Every structure is written in C-alpha cells, then in structure tokens.
Structure 1
Amino acid sequence: MATLFEYFLKDFSRDLSIEKKLKLQNTLSGSEIEVNARVYLNFEANAKYVVFYVPELKGATFPEAILMNSIAEVLDLPSTTVGVSSDMNNLANDWAEGTDLNFAGRVFFYCERDPPHDAKMRLTGEAAANGVRVIFRGGAYLRKRNEMERPKAFICHDSRDKAPIAGPLAIQMQKFMCPVWYDERWATAFAGE
C-alpha cells in the first residue's frame, strides 16, 4: 500500500519539477511543519502547475489557505532558483524557457488530514473566480488509488540498503507506473528530500 507522500512524489513524474520547502507554524502552539511545494513544467504543453504536500499540523485547521498566498513564489522558481529550458528537436521553434511557460491554473494539495469541507468549498470557489482550479487529494484519494493499484514488483533488501538503494528504486519504478510492495518505513527516510 502506497502512502499519500509516495503519490505526491510519483503522480506528475513525467514532467520536470522544481521543489522548495515552505515552513508553516501554528502561532498558538508553536508547532511547525515543512511543506513540499513544487512547480511542474510541461514544455510540450507550454504549461506549469503547482503541487503541495501538506503534512498534518496539529491545531491548524486549514493551512492550505495560507499556502495559496505562496503560489506566485512557487511559480517563479524557474527564474529564481535554476534556469530551465528545453530544445525538443534541435529546431529553433521548439526552444522553450521555463520562465515563459504559462500557468495552467491548476493547484494540487496532497493533505495528510482531510480539511473541513466548507473551507475547501470556499477556497475552491474563490480560486475559480480567479481562473484557478484547486484539487484536494487526501484520505479518499489514497484509499481509491490503493484499491485500484496492485503491486507488480517486490523489493527485497537489506535494511542498510533502504535509503541508498531500495527507496530510490521504488520511487523510480512507481514513476514508470509499476506499483511496488516493500517495507513502507522507507518513505519517511525520503520525506526530507
């Protein structure tokens, strides 16, 4: 059974991505989480879109509303962190810069806890008014995906090989649509990547 974080890692793996860690803090309790924010670049479609992985933050009801304020910063990653360009067929008219790709108006939230329904509806409505479609993926998405996917491969490994070999191999295999059965604890080793 895959975890939500694993689906976050592999769902859009065919497109190039740039990631930034964003820190969110609960001002009442002082607890803090690190959110993975990615901009995905699809040069063939001339489009880019944003994906967030939101771990559970105790005491925080709806951190996704705060993250919506970070979208411009995440979309700007191709120009502020690393220059990205593509030359599809060595033809002049196929040259594309990551900074020139159009925002597709898609924002995905992979949420480890199910946000309140009314807050989700309010946020999706406000975003839609600005031409942005917000898609939440949480517990229901995880259950459905796990129900539909059956492992096609098993990775047997020594525990010392979990981080350097088994984990990266499992992620790569899943990127190629090959569901893998393995020791699920490896995923926590990659949560910081």
Structure 2
Amino acid sequence: MEERASLAPDELLGLSVAVGVCAQAFLNEPSDKIVERLACVAHAYGSDAFDGIAVDDALRQRYYDRLFVPTSSLYVPLFESSVRGAIEEDGRFRYASTKGPQADHVLGCYRAIGFDYRLLEGFGPAVAALRPDALAAELAFSAFLARESAEMACEDPDASRRSAQLLDQFSSEHVGAWVGKAARCLFLGADDLYARTAKLACDAIASAGAVRLDL
C-alpha cells in the first residue's frame, strides 16, 4: 500500500466527527439537529450544501423513499456489495445483490477489534435493516477507528498507530472505494439531503487520503 502522511490527533477527531455525523444521517429520520450538524461539518470542508434545508414531512418521506421503499425511483440500496457491483445503463443503475464477499470481509474487520454494528443506535427500521457493509455501518466504524487513534495518541502510541493503519486500510479497501459511487447513485435520483450526505462523507474520507473519487 502506498505510504501516506499520518493524520494528527485533531485531524483524526475531525474526521471521526464528520463521518460519524454522516452515519447518523442515514441511521435516523431527519431532524433539525442532524441537519445542523451536517451543515456545521460541511462548513469545515468549505461547503454550504446543507444551509437552508427544511425538516418537514416531505424530507421525512424522502428518507423513507431513499432507504426503505425498493419500488421508489429514488431508492438506492446503500450496501457495498450492491453499489460496487452496480452497472449504469441508459442513465440508471442496475444494482448487484446485497450478498457478496465484501460483507464477509467487512464483518471480519469489525470482529478483529470488537466493533458490533448491530449495537448502533438510530431509527428502529434503519438499525434492523443494517448489514455489515451498509454505508451507515462502515461510516460508523471509520468514525470509531479515527476516534480511537486520536484518543490513544499520547497514552498508547502503538495502539493509536494500529487504529490509524486499520482506518487507512479499511478506507482504501472498503468505504473509500465506493462512497463516491454511492453519492453518484443518489444524485442520479435527486440532489437532496442524502446525496449531499454521501458526498460529504466522500469529501471527509478524501481528506484522509484514502478514497476513490467517482463523481
């Protein structure tokens, strides 16, 4: 793997906050608090993409259409196996199966450090629908690794370095390799809160130097 400059603890904490907020946006029904936090993170990356977004019944319906209604033209199966294997045809994406080898490898990464994606908090149906390679789960795991690395930097530099290395590897092999494509899939349906959230996650991970931009 190409050698990359290490992130400072404050940069790791910033990355943890950014991708953690994006994970929460996919795990929860929209709220003023979530939109405000997304806007705050976006401002740190020089974007005003979330300014002025109103949380109303239409946005709540958009959340359901995006994540829970496969018959909706706006639905995108935000799982690594589905999106990485998706094929674009005639301006639309044909998604791959939600069952693939990526999910097994992701689960192995979680188990290696005791991360249980099933314990993530959020909207009941969203949490129940999680798979190991769900975008929300992979973002939450990345946030966990970044925070662990930052918090251990002084107390246990070796442990901090291991977490940072795993974050870099996980970003390169998993979330960073498809979050840009996920954003493309979402933007193809509409330029909305969820497409912009995926793009924000892509920008945040790109700041760590391990992402494949596919926009």
More helix by share: 2
TM-score by length of 1: 0.25
Greater Rg over alpha carbons, structure: 1
